[in-house]
Structure formats: C-alpha cells, structure tokens
Structure 1
Amino acid sequence: MRDLLNDLEAGKMLSDPDPVRRAQALARTPLPKRFYKAVSVEPLDDGFAVKLDGRPVRTPGKALLTLPAEAAARLVAAEFDAQTETIDPVKMPVLRLVNTAIDGVSADPQAVLEDIVRFASSDLLCYRADGPQGLVERQNDRWDPVLDWARSALGARFNLAEGVIHVEQPRETIAVLGAHLAQRADPFRLAALHVMTTLTGSALLALGVEAGALAPQEGWSAAHVDEDWQIEHWGQDAEAVARRTQRERDFMACVTLLGALKDSGRH
C-alpha cells in the first residue's frame, strides 16, 4: 500500500516520490499545453466536481474527481486556473493529494490508517540525540510539548530512547492512536495525514498540526530540528534547499486541504 500511495502521490502516477527528482524527470518531459479556458466547481449529489470548460476532471485512475466539500474543490480549481501556457503537475500539490485519496486511499483506507500507526510506533519524536547538549535541549524544547499533547489529549504515552536503537511502544498507545485515526477514516483526510507523516517522519506531528495543537510552520520546523542543527554548523547545498522547499509546499497543501474539509464539517 505504501508503494502504491507513493506512486499515486507522485502522480504516475507522477514517477518519483522525491520532489527534486520528480521535478527533474518532469523537466525532461514536455509539459502538456493548457487546453481549457474556464475552470468551475459544480455541485453534485455526492459532492462537488471540478470542471474544465464544462467537462469533468478525472483522476489518473479514470475516476470522476469529486470532493466532499466545496472549499476543497475550489482549492483544486484554483490550481488548474493558476496554470498558464502549460500544465505543471509539480505546481499542483492539492490535485496530486486528491488523486491519491480517490485512486488509492478510498480503495483500502484501513491499510493507510495502519501505515500511519506503524510510523507512530517508531516516531521521530521518540528518538533523541545523546549529544551535543545544544541539540538535546532543542529536541526537548520542540518535541516534548507534542508528546505532552498526545498524552493529555489522546491518552497516548510514548517511550523515548537515545540514538537509533528501536524502542517498543506500549500496546495501549498504539491502540489509542488507531482509534483516534479511525475517526478520520475519510479518504481525503487520511491521504493528507499520510503524506504529512511521511514528509516529517512523525505521525505525532501530523496529528498535532491537524488538531491545532501546534501551528503548521511549527510542525514543519519541529520535523527538521536535527537537519537545522547540521545546517547551522556545516552549511547546506542548493539541492537540499530545493528539496526541502518543495516538500514543505506539499506539507502545507495537506494542511490547506485539511482546513477546507474541517470548515465544511467533515472531521
């Protein structure tokens, strides 16, 4: 399932889950010309459809692209409308996410839920550095509040470890997270949470941002504590900056879609 989701999210199904390599591959392939003039959103019995010159948009799997909330459909419509002479899928992160939800997640939402739970069983926030002291303190400062939220809001207590040696999490904690995610079985919400989890390496950060326990930018920054420490001491290269920028754009697209679903009453 994770391989399928990676392919779908990349748009192949777009070719490669790494945003920089994906952009490089697409750069070698001529982009399709923009063939439509007008973009619209129209209500249906079961949601809202995005249409180009009055014709419905379909996913790579040939399903009708229908969203459960008008605000969410308008996010996709805005991406189509923002295309100029050509259509660049790299610049349409919400569309890619929606395609993933419809073609992949909706077929087996339980498998996606379980994949997020597996991430939580070895969550980034549970593995702490044993030095230098500045990094240890920064991890504690950024990550402990999220673990405190998980304990108080969800009743999930996590064990911590130093280094990369695996630490087993309590069965009760994994069960609680599974039950929490089961309330978010909507394919669009699960797709967003799954992408956020894989981009950050932390289901807890994804769930914390979704719940409003921390701001989106705080969540993204918390996922890069170690990387930022390295950058401060050793610098960074242009390719790494580009990769992180594109991954952040994908992360924020997930947050935006979750917000549109929440505003519509779909939780």
Structure 2
Amino acid sequence: MNNLFKLLQKPLTTIVSVPQQLPRRSYASLPKRFYKKTSVLYNDGKYEVTLDSRKLKTPNGALFTVKSEPLAIAVATEFDAQKERIERSKMHLSALCFTAIDNPNRHTKTDMVNYLLNYIATDTVLFQYDDEKDLHDLQCNEWDPIIKWFNERYGTNLEKTMVMSPPNIGADDKMKVSKYLLSHSEDVLFGFIFAVDTLKSVVLAFATIDQRISVDKAVALARLEEEYQVKFWGRVEWSHDLSQQELQARLAAAVLFVHLNRSEHFVKEKLVV
C-alpha cells in the first residue's frame, strides 16, 4: 500500500470529474498557495483537513469530510506538497474526494454501476487481433491470464473478440459484476470508475484494486499496443514517459481511494461502558 502513496480516457464525459493537466505556460495563472501548513482534525465521527486556520471545502462549497483518517492525511499531504502555486491537475486524491462529496451530476449508485457494466464491452484487453502475429502473441501472453483470473474471481465468462465487433457480454455476467459493485458504497464506486477510465479496462482495474497486479504492471498492460508500436516508430521519451507517469499517478490514487474508503479503514470511537 505504501507504494501507492509514492506513485501518487473515455473522454471528459466520464462520471468522475477530474482536472486536466494544464500546459506549462499556464502555471502563472494557477492560484497561489495561501497557507503555510496543513493538518487533520477529527470532528463528529469524521475527519477534516485544515489549511492554516481554514477548513478545506469542496468546489461546491461543502465542508470536506471523510470517514477514513489515512485518506484525510493523504489529501492533506497533497495540499502540503504544493509549492508557490496550487496545481490541482496533479491532486488526484483530492479531486476524487471532492467529486464524491459534491457529486455534481447527481449520479446514483445505479448510474455508476451501469456505467461500469457498459464499459466491459469496450474493455481494452477484450479486443485482440491476429493479423499481426507478434502483437497477437504478446496480447495472448500478457492479457489472457488476466482475463482468466477475472473470470475465476468473479464467476464470469468474458471472452475476447478477434474482430471489430464488441464482445458479447451475457446478462448473467453483468448480474455477477453488478452484485459485486453494489456491495460497495457510492464513494468507493467513484474510485472504481476513475481506475477504469484511466486504464480503459474493467478487467485491469479490478485486477489492480484486488492487488492481483501492481499499478506499474496494470499501466504497462493498458499501454501494451502503444509500446509495441513504439518499437517500430521510435519513442519520444519525454512524451511517453510523462504519459506513463501520469497514468500511474491517476491509477495509484484510484486504488488508494477505494481501499481507504472501505469500512475496514475507518477509525471508530471506542465505546466507554
């Protein structure tokens, strides 16, 4: 779990609203850091973050509160890591918390589960091609074991497609995945969606959240075809490296958000008898 702190697109119509990376020339237009220190407070069963004497609020003006102390500490750390300017595009955990609290589009749990279920038919690892043998062999070796694991773990029967048509996702498969997702809170589902959007894959996102594969491995698998093509067309180091690091940071934040929002990470007050 500590590694996730260190690592810390279906398009912008995604359910999770996250600030996009701003070009370097816009740095001067970012808000200046107005606080010297951050801290975490416990109040009425929840945790708050303060910037000096001010309590942190969401973009919609709601008081920032979470049930998990480690999550509050992580958000405070993101704010503390800002230098002269506040670069919100790099504060993925804070953005996820803000979205979960504000829920600006008023999405219900059913909306979020349906979003994830519909995504399965477009899952990156389920689309494979046999017109290029080396690439197909790579997909089989790297992606097929994860698909097999997913089917065993969730009792599904997902099958890859070798054509442009999307794979057929049966009603029984959707029901099983839906039942699993509905067992989580709305907050946790925001994290699942952020992970899926980052990797463009439900299978890889679930495998990472279940700690079957690491964040680095998941990003490498999501970029499999791109990295294969790089061998022929060359690598623009700064561009490819930045893209990879950004995906790792986003995914690490999503996985951490999910785990820290699960009930076993909540700190409960001891009852005095």
- Which residue among 2, 9, 31 is the counterpart of 2:18? 9
Report the counterpart of residue 37 of structure 2 in structure 1: 38
Moved more, 100-109 or 83-92: 100-109
Q: Quote the residue 1:121 is aligned against.
A: 121
Q: SS at 1:165's partner residue? A: coil
* Number of residue pairs matched by the alignment: 253
- SS of equivalent to 2:50: strand
SS of 2:216's equivalent in the other structure is helix
Asked whether the 8 Å contact 2:60–2:102 carries over to 1, the reply is yes
> Which is richer in helix?
1
Q: Deviations over 1:151-192 (max 9, x none)?
A: 2111011122113222211111111111111112331x2112
Q: Which residue does the alignment assign to 1:247?
A: 247
Instruction: Work out whether residues 5 and 104 of structure 1, in 8 Å CA contact, stay in contact via their aligned partners in 2.
Output: no
Structure 2 contact 18–89 (Cα < 8 Å) conserved: no
Contact kept, 8 Å, 2:109 with 2:182, in 1: the verdict is no
C-alpha distance in 1, partners of 2:32/2:213?
40
Q: Distance in 1 between matches of 2:47 and 2:123?
A: 36
Residue of structure 2 equivalent to 1:61: 60
Q: Deviations over 1:47-93 (max 9, x none)?
A: 21111113211111111111120000111000111112221112211
1 CA distance for matches of 2:42 and 2:107? 23
In structure 2, relative to structure 1, the CA distance for the partners of 1:217 and 1:28 (3 Å cut) is closer
Q: CA deviation at 1:131?
A: 3.0
Distance 1:26 1:3 in 2: 26
**CA shift for structure 1 position 139:** 0.9
% identity of equivalent residues: 23
- In structure 2, relative to structure 1, the CA distance for the partners of 1:26 and 1:173 (3 Å cut) is farther
Q: Which deviates the most, 118-127 or 103-112?
A: 103-112
**Correspondence list, 1:91-102, <5 A:** 91-102=90-101
Taking only aligned residues, the RMSD between alpha carbons, in angstroms, comes to 2.2
Q: How does 1:101-120 map to 2 (within 5 A)?
A: 101-104=100-103, 107-120=107-120
Moved more, 50-59 or 159-168: 159-168
Gaps of 5+ in 1: 11-18
Which string of whole-angstrom CA distances, capped at 9 and with x for unpartnered residues, describes residues 84-122 of structure 1?
222111221111111121122875232122111111133
- Give 5+ residue unaligned stretches, structure 2: 1-11, 267-273
> 2:205, 2:229 → 1: CA distance?
23
Q: 1:264 to 1:44 in 2, by over 3 A?
A: farther
1:13 match? none
Q: How many Å separate the matches in 2 of 1:248 and 1:256?
A: 12
Decide whether aligned partners of structure 1 residues 116 and 175 sit closer, same or farther in structure 2, where only a CA change above 3 A counts: same
C-alpha distance in structure 1 between counterparts of 2:184 and 2:206, whole Å: 10
Distance 1:112 1:5 in 2: 8
Residues 147, 157 of structure 1: 8 Å contact kept:
no
The farther-off stretch of 234-243 and 205-214 is 234-243
- The 1:38–1:264 alpha-carbon spacing in structure 2 relative to 1, beyond 3 Å, is farther
Give the corresponding residue for 2:210. Answer: 211
Q: Which residue of 2 is the match for residue 181 of structure 1?
A: 181
Paired position in structure 2 for 1:14: none
| Alignment-derived partner of residue 138 in structure 1 | 138
TM-score for the superposition, normalised by structure 2:
0.84
The residue identity in structure 1 corresponding to 2:226 is E
Aligned twin of 1:16: none
Deviation, structure 1 residue 233: 1.6
Question: Which amino acid is 1:100 matched to?
Answer: T
Q: Distance in 2 between matches of 1:100 and 1:26?
A: 27
Q: Which runs of 4+ in 1 moved over 6 A?
A: none
Q: Name the stretch that deviates more: 154-163 or 237-246.
A: 237-246
